[in-house]
A = this chain, B = another copy of it.
């Protein structure tokens, strides 16, 4: 009997989720293309093929739409991190795998989106207020990398003469997707090639050359 009703409910739930997913995707596109302010609810709606009002049936407002984007991406992303890391033997190998995962995965998109919106609203405030999940992604990432770097120091793979925090900072600086990458690199490099080179620079840069 409940088997009769449960599917019915999940059908609607499912449709609702699909619709929300479509909205989030469109919003993501438009936000990235135009930035937070020039992205209008109207255009987002139009790109989904629905009306403005419908968005508000799914998300309370524009800010919450941004928060939802981050939340979704965060969830997807966090799920992958552990799997990737555990598959590798040494701290350095783990870091390299993490790096590959980040750079080729949706962290790339996320960061690009973030940077396209930073200082959009009080995006800082907003993400702190509404998106506990956003901080989660960040903290999870930071704690993983920190742990790996320190393990690397312990096993002698990584030099101890540079503070871990600086290495952490370099890590994110070097591998964060830049909006000017194409500008600098032209079309000469694939993502894969680029990341391979950057990896070499980074690990050479932090390597323990005395070993």
Contact = CB atoms under 8 A, between A and B. Distances in A.
Interface of A: 32, 34-38, 115-124, 142, 162-163, 165-170, 172-174, 176, 178-181, 184-186, 188-189, 194, 197-198, 200-207, 209
Contact of A165 (B123, B163, B165, B185): B185
Main secondary structure of the interface of A (DSSP, over half): helix
Contact of A209 (B123, B178, B188, B204): B204
Contact of A118 (B118, B176, B198): B118
Contacts of A180: 172
> What's the number of copies of this chain in the assembled complex?
4
Contacts of A163: 188-189, 197
Contact of A122 (B38, B176, B200): B38
Contacts of A120: 35, 37, 119-120
A35 B119 contact: yes
8 contacts: A35-B119, A35-B123, A36-B119, A38-B122, A167-B201, A169-B185, A173-B176, A176-B178
A201 B118 contact: no
Contacts of A202: 201, 205
A206 B197 contact: no
